């Protein structure tokens, strides 16, 4: 009964490169949420997706960031042309439905930008 799986656990990129973070939700979960935890700050909501649909992206930076949750395969958070300020822990959570159900979190991806 695997939990939410995120990979890689640690990712190092140089400024200007692309970062791809993957999230496989728990079995039976069709709702995925991405959160970001900047150093010395709390977790902030980024985006909420269901299979093949972005439901709420109000927390996503306007540029360079995108997310998808295809019909098959994991959810992907993509950051283009990374900058030092993108260094953070990125967490994915999943739930089987919408409001009222608990979100289960993965162990996160620690992104470091050189």
Partner 1 sequence: KQEVTQIPAALSVPEGENLVLNCSFTDSAIYNLQWFRQDPGKGLTSLLLIQSSQREQTSGRLNASLDKSSGRSTLYIAASQPGDSATYLCAAGEAAGNKLTFGGGTRVLVKP
Question: Cβ of residue 13: shortest distance to partner 1, in angstroms?
Answer: 19
| Complete DSSP assignment for 3-66 | --EEE-SEEEE-TT--EEEEEEPPTT--EEEEEEE-TTS-EEEEEEEETTEEEE-TTS-SSSEE
Question: Cβ of residue 68: shortest distance to partner 1, in angstroms?
Answer: 17
Q: Which residues bind partner 1 (CB under 8 A)?
A: 4, 6, 33, 35, 41-45, 48, 55-56, 59, 91, 93, 95, 98-108, 110
Task: Choose between 55 and 83: whose C-beta lies nearer to partner 1.
Answer: 55
Question: Cβ of residue 58: shortest distance to partner 1, in angstroms?
Answer: 8
Task: Choose between 14 and 28: whose C-beta lies nearer to partner 1.
Answer: 28
User: Which of these, 93, 90, 94, lies nearest to 79 by C-alpha position?
Assistant: 90
- DSSP three-state, residue 112: strand
Question: Cβ of residue 78: shortest distance to partner 1, in angstroms?
Answer: 20
Task: Choose between 40 and 72: whose C-beta lies nearer to partner 1.
Answer: 40
């Amino acid at each position: 009964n695997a939990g939410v799986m995120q990979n890689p656990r640690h990712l190092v990129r140089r400024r200007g490169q692309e970062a791809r973070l993957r999230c496989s939700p728990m079995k039976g979960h069709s709702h995925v949420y991405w959160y970001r935890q900047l150093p010395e700050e709390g977790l902030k909501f980024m985006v909420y997706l269901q299979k093949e649909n972005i439901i709420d992206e109000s927390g996503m930076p306007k540029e360079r960031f995108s997310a998808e949750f295809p019909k098959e395969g994991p959810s992907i958070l993509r950051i283009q042309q990374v900058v030092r300020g993108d260094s953070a822990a990125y967490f994915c959570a999943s739930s089987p439905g919408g409001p009222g159900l608990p979100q289960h979190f993965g162990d996160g991806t620690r992104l470091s930008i050189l």
